[in-house]
Structure 1
């Protein structure tokens, strides 16, 4: 089990993939397979980095992702981390909107964000397009560097900008109201197999449709992107919007 995790993280690095994302998935897999029992302490970071043959910086970022999703939690004394139980994981994954399931979040995003993209294609300005292009460039760089924090930040900003460009204040306010749970849904794909590049390509198609003033294309590509994001987050085909 440990040898498999080491091999996967090494392969991700040699293939130009995200070492952080590979580390998150390797640790999540080891936790799921019972390598450490619930409530037991995660090995010290120095030991764990040596075990997985990764840098301490890579491990620290991976641990921050696992903390966000609730798979691990900080020790009460602040020294180290322990494997969380199921209830901790649910509240950690959705800290701002526990009543809503991941499926419900993607259903809402499918409706709201696809319509916003359609409106944005009809109302965008050159300034809007320049801002979206800059955000997409940051998203691309984060994917290239395996910078998960920067990746989620740029992803969130790209979608926020499209809502703003739509010009519909009610859609903007609705999205802002659920901003926490929306962003959490955008973190989920890093815990599942696959690299960071598909979402970059999907963003490119959305931006191209908005640039050429194609509302039907913008709606189509945003809906496809949201559905693919749900799939990468672990939703089954029957759960996808």
Structure 2
């Protein structure tokens, strides 16, 4: 490893920076065990306090995991970054429900287009399964079950698109929309109309018709948007609803 001794102030910050660079350059791979604290002190020419602080920072960021056997590079930091981004959107007073909805619409239109080209047989089977669950939920008047199947349907589209970066962004944006949707009263008529939109989207993906998929998806999300606005007429109030959810993070 090409390690440079640290000779500046804020020594732990420089240890953090070098370890991050090693991970980016693949000098440290996912699953690799780091040297022990004494060896790290010698490598970076810093005190054990600086090393411990650096490891603590990287662990909080999700880049490292520590247990009784040592400290390891881990790959599960995506969820931590995702939660952090979601919280930043919620807490930024300049963000509004309108901004979030527009971003989701733009993102999901691209995802559904990619899904028509990249979907697998397994994706189609799962999407079919989710629409069946929605039908059952409608017959049982089970609002919660319907919402869960609805969420799963859209997540499967994002997976079918086969674009990991867009998938990450979708999860962040859709989580915020879902928090509002859960509060919106969904009656039988709303579920019936929503189910028809989902079936049209599924048919377009299955027949690989991107134009039909984009149109159906746009109409569906516009319908959702209109229903939310009927309940929360003032965008500022919707923003407050989102902010009140920050305790879940």
Q: Could you say which residue in structure 1 is the equivalent of 2:34?
A: none
Within the alignment, does 1:107 sit opposite 2:80 as a pair?
A: no
Say whether the 8 Å CA contact 1:189–1:229 is kept in structure 2. Answer: no
Q: 1:173 to 1:197 in 2, by over 3 A?
A: same
Deviation, structure 1 residue 183: 1.4
Show the counterpart of 1:139.
134
Q: TM-score, normalization: structure 1?
A: 0.54
TM-score by length of 2: 0.52
Aligned equivalent of 1:97: 90
Matched, 1:215 2:238: no
Match of 1:234 in 2: 229
Query: How many residues end up aligned between the 2 structures?
Result: 144
Cα distance between partner residues in 2 of 1:207 and 1:231? 22
Gaps of 5+ in 2: 1-86, 236-249
- Computing the radius of gyration from Cα coordinates, the structure with the larger value is 2
Match of 2:37 in 1: none
Tell me the residue number matched to 1:129: 124
Aligned 1:14-53 pairs, distance under 5 A: none
8 Å contact 2:138–2:188 — kept in the other structure? no
Distance 1:213 1:194 in 2: 29
Q: Which has the higher contact order (CA 8 A, sep 6+)?
A: 1
**Superposed displacement of residue 188, structure 1:** 4.5
**Given the alignment of the two structures, is residue 173 of structure 1 paired with residue 158 of structure 2, yes or no?**
no
Q: Does 1:200 align with 2:195?
A: yes
Q: CA 1:227/1:170 → structure 2, altered by over 3 Å: closer, same or farther?
A: same
Identify the residue that residue 152 of structure 1 maps to in structure 2.
147
Would you say the 8 A contact 1:202–1:221 is kept in 2? yes
